Chain A
Amino acid sequence: MSGHSTYEFKNPIARWVDERLPILSVVRGQLVDFPTPRNLNYWWTFGGILATMLVIQILTGIVLVMHFTPHTSMAFDSVEHIMRDVNWGWLLRWMHANGASFFFIAVYIHIFRGLYYGSYKAPREILWMIGVIIFIAMMATAFMGYVLPWGQMSYWGAVVITNLFSAIPVVGDQIVQWLWGGFSVANPTLQRFFSLHYLLPFVLAALVFLHVWALHVTGNNNPDGIEVKSEQDTLPFHPYYTMKDLFAILVFLMVYAAFVFYSPWYLGHSINFAPANPLSTPAHIVPEWYFLPFYAMLRAIPDKLGGVIVMFSSLIILFFLPWLDTSKVKSLKYRPLARQFFWLLVIVCLVLGIAGAQPAQGAWLLVARLATAWYFIHFLVILPLLGFIEKPKPIPASISEAVLGKAKA
């Protein structure tokens, strides 16, 4: 449905350029005329929101690097220097720190949108799998970025997370030493995390390009989960969706700005205002909120290696989702039973997040175990079975019929 734009440029310079490098007709075809399903709702604006957040993170990151010093003896002080001395440093730093959180808010909504409307199903499997890679790369980037200010939580977060790899049998300790560049988390660790934290966002940008490319080959999924059949089903991307996306982006940025300006530390941990001290562990180590569900899974398993395997499996399993879901119907709008299990999964993920913030003992440990079990049961048992058990509701013949009703379409 993409194809080359047949648009003829009237401006002779534009035509001259386009005959030599068809960049203008690609923009025209992919960003202006691109046929987009007419029934997309606001849940579809989070792709644009995510692109915006990536740009904000890269821009604020590049200028923060102009003032940050990646050395254990100066990293913490240089962040304070940014906060107190650098012109607008406080704003740039809080934009970057809160930007990470809002990036994750948007990506979680985007992922659950995909789950609800079956956006991972044929022919969009590759699109979905690139998305999972993006999500994992985002988590690695965020983790390494959080280490850079070299506060107590930065340091001990790095200790606990890198120690996960020590659970690997036989070579685990060697791998951890290789990751650290020493016998503990120290300056070599900080410097390599800084290097990779600068690199990965550009890898992310390249992955996003592939993600959008795959999207533009298959075209958007939509709330009814019906493929586009005729031009009647679509609208040109510009101005209909450029404006809709822009509106959503602006609303999202207002909420983001409210955090940046009025409670920039709300999503962080006060313990990170203390410089890293390798000789004293804070009483309660907690990762940033967006890692809590995975942290809960890690701690839910009483065995160290088992916990690590379960935690990584919770991500790997997403690669197989297109084949685990056996139903031919994409949108949960027409799958009454699957819809209930979807909301149960949402609740289970939220519960995991809450459990991840609690000390791993007593009732919360039990809750985390049950929720972890359900997470895997959902993907490995419920989804494959539902395709056979469930009787979906009747599906409209086309998108325009779904929008306008049978009579008009």
Chain B
Amino acid sequence: MTTKVENADVSRRDFLYIATGAVGAVGTALAIWPFIDQMNPDASVLALASTEFDLAPLEEGQGVTIKWRGKPVFIRHRTPKEIEEAKKTPLAELKDPIARNLNLPPDAEATDENRVKDANGKVNEKYLVQIGICTHLGCVPLGEQGDYDGWFCPCHGSHYDSAGRIRKGPAPRNLDIPPYKYTSDTVIVIG
């Protein structure tokens, strides 16, 4: 037995069919977002996004490692010899000619001055602040080592100079300089 429906409103039915399907699909797609976004850094992680540090107790030739956003940050009070070496290195000798300083335009040259410049353009060449993560595969380099009086990464043998610039080994980039600024002559805020 077959029932023939007279005057079946096909276009109306098609519309309902497509509309239901579309609402279902779009609704599902929107509902997925909270499940994905919950994995992004949460409010408590973001709240730790800046760290203050007092440079005054750092003696000349002394370096410390502090934590910023869970990453090691190297802060070094450089000796005049280290500053001198970094300054007289010609840019042509560098493997990575970019400053990698997040306080500067992305194409800034890797001069020693650009490596110690803060977000306000203040330069204090005595203090070098950089993220202590090798740009190769994420290891933490060791200080006062390597062939260039800087840092040496034990994992795969990258040498960084006294301005944290890559000189030898597999790492592709200079050590990153985090965003920071001087809030007084001896206090910096990172992040």
Binding site for B on A (CB under 8 A): 156, 159-160, 163, 177-186, 188, 192, 278-281, 283-285, 302, 304, 359-361
Contact = CB atoms under 8 A, between A and B. Distances in A.
B121 to A, nearest CB: 25
B139 A285 contact: yes
Interface residues of B, number: 26
Contacts of A180: 41
Interface string B15-41: 000000000000000000000100111
B155 A182 contact: no
Contact of A184 (B69, B136, B137): B69
B88 to A, nearest CB: 30
A281 B39 contact: no
A180 B65 CA distance: 22
B140 A281 contact: yes
Contacts of A177: 40-41
A184 B70 CA distance: 6
A361 B155 CA distance: 11
B172 interface: yes
Given A177-B41, A181-B40, A182-B45, A278 B70 contact: yes
A156 B156 CA distance: 14
A224 B77 CA distance: 73
A156 B39 contact: no
20 contacts: A159-B138, A160-B137, A163-B138, A177-B41, A178-B40, A179-B39, A180-B41, A181-B39, A181-B40, A182-B41, A182-B69, A183-B49, A184-B69, A184-B70, A188-B39, A188-B42, A278-B71, A285-B139, A359-B156, A361-B157
Contacts of B170: 302, 360
B95 to A, nearest CB: 13
B42 A278 contact: no
B67 interface: yes
B63 interface: no
Closest 7 CB pairs of A and B: A184-B70, A183-B69, A281-B139, A182-B45, A281-B140, A283-B154, A163-B138
B72 interface: yes
A162 to B, nearest CB: 9
B140 A360 contact: no
A296 to B, nearest CB: 14
Contacts of B42: 181, 188
A279 B153 CA distance: 13
Interface string B134-176: 0011111000000000000111110000000000001010000
A285 B155 contact: yes
Contacts of B136: 304
A287 to B, nearest CB: 12
Nearest to B134: A281
Interface string B37-71: 00111100100010000000000000001010111
A279 B65 contact: yes
B69 A279 contact: no
Contacts of B69: 182-184
A188 B72 CA distance: 18
A186 B67 CA distance: 12
A361 B41 CA distance: 36
Contacts of A181: 39-42, 45
Contacts of B72: 278-279
Given A160-B138, A278-B72, A183 B155 contact: no
Nearest to B156: A360
Given A179-B39, A186-B70, 10 more contacts: A159-B138, A163-B138, A177-B41, A182-B70, A185-B70, A188-B45, A278-B67, A278-B71, A281-B139, A304-B172
